[in-house]
Structure 1
């Protein structure tokens, strides 16, 4: 006897499987985001990559999360811009880290002459042959 195929049932099964995989990836992304926030205060930069990886999983698999992310990005572009640079295909990790260090220094050292990193960068540029 030949086995009869039911294309409608196959389509429903593949749709249910794809939906289940999508929900599992969203759950895994949320776990990675929470783990990244928990690990972030510890020494070392392990919290940021975990958070970015989790955010990538959630944003690729959840339409509602994408809409909320875009809405938040339009409302607060200065906050989201470094995160968007890390979410690109070829992330500019060092540039984002340097910019965040400069912003942190600017936050704590209000006087323009007391900012160390800015002077350090200028002195390196003067010595550089390029």
Structure 2
């Protein structure tokens, strides 16, 4: 019998921008990190006679969505970086990079040329909430150990 274990505590992430700085994440104040590739790698075309042509499509772009507690240091860092980049020169906009490593699963994601999709929503409720930050990246590499 084979047993495997997953723990979010085994996930370490670092988000950075060359002009703003970096922030390391190891579970504190984070609810979820979701890495979603955007490019559909296969396209098909059907001719009038019914023959099918299959095309392999290149592309490693995608979106990383980070859920953070609204009072966390991570949320404050992302809000500060967003505010900085909104007012910075446009050449700085898509310079966010991120590394997400899961030692237990033997995977590392390298995300390059990222930007903010939009500013996070601001919930005000009886209890504190999580806020979501979506960052589209031009290149996401998934390296298995």
Q: TM-score range by the shorter chain?
A: under 0.3
Radius of gyration: which is bigger?
A: 1
Q: Which has the higher contact order (CA 8 A, sep 6+)?
A: 2
Q: Which has the higher strand share?
A: 2
TM-score w.r.t. structure 2 length? 0.25
